[in-house]
Chain A
Amino acid sequence: DAKTTQPPSMDCAEGRAANLPCNHSTISGNEYVYWYRQIHSQGPQYIIHGLKNNETNEMASLIITEDRKSSTLILPHATLRDTAVYYCIVRVVETSGSRLTFGEGTQLTVNP
């Protein structure tokens, strides 16, 4: 799996957009970018994933650069409940599926 680099922590004001960056300069052509988050003492929650096109769902948007070496997860209107550790994971999509390798992630703190 390609290695990812994320800032250890970020702050965001409630109601503003939270932009979480992730570098994955060694990503391969068949690797997807996945985002999960873990609210304190809970199980991780799948957020979104993408290959090369920008993706949007009810939780967030994922912007992947044209060279695919980095991406940004955007929470358009952050709330206090979005305070969590956010993990960027790069994985090959396999028909069988396998383990997820979680790095250190980014601790996002949304402030009132």
Chain B
Amino acid sequence: EAGVTQSPTHLIKTRGQQATLRCSPISGHTSVYWYQQALGLGLQFLLWYDEGEERNRGNFPPRFSGRQFPNYSSELNVNALELEDSALYLCASRRRGTGGNEQYFGPGTRLTVT
């Protein structure tokens, strides 16, 4: 079974630009979660999508947005990039219908804003 995949592995942008990060969940998983891990900080919850809808979002400004496609893959968009957005962005997926909290994480996208 293939794991969660994320692309690109690394992304370098300049301040003010937009970044788009992509995530493909494990087959059969319908929920996708996005987390941010800035250097020296813990994992911060960003967004949760399930069945194509945004279910919850963390304490991040509206310039962080995303969507989930019919095939359950997901996209995270960050507009008007700021230097502080430099971080590892992690995507996780969860199996359909499970009540548990076992989330399976991808390798992450390292975003660097210069």
When A34-B101, A43-B4, A91-B101 are in contact, do A97 and B94 touch as well, CB less than 8 Å?
yes
Number of cross-chain contacts by CB at 8 Å: 68
**Chain A residues touching B, range:** 20 to 34
Q: How far is the CB of A77 from chain B (nearest CB, A)?
A: 24
The stretch that binds A, out of B60-68, B73-81, B102-110, is B102-110
Encode contact with A along B5-41: 1 for CB under 8 Å, 0 otherwise: 0000000000000000000000000010100000000
A45-B92 Cα distance, complex, nearest whole Å: 10
Supply 14 A–B pairs (Cβ within 8 Å), ascending by A.
A34-B102, A42-B108, A43-B105, A43-B106, A44-B90, A44-B92, A46-B102, A49-B100, A49-B102, A96-B50, A96-B55, A98-B48, A100-B43, A102-B43
Q: How far is the CB of A32 from chain B (nearest CB, A)?
A: 7
On chain A, the residues within 8 Å of B105 by CB distance are: 43-45
A97 engages B98 (CB within 8 Å)? yes
B56 engages A99 (CB within 8 Å)? yes
Q: Which chain A residues have a beta carbon within 8 Å of chain B's beta carbons?
A: 32, 34, 38, 41-46, 49, 89, 91, 93-105
Q: Which chain B residues have a beta carbon within 8 Å of chain A's beta carbons?
A: 4, 31, 33, 42-43, 45, 48, 50, 55-56, 58, 88, 90-92, 94, 98-108
- Across the interface, B99 reaches (CB within 8 A) one of A38, A42, A93, A104, namely A93
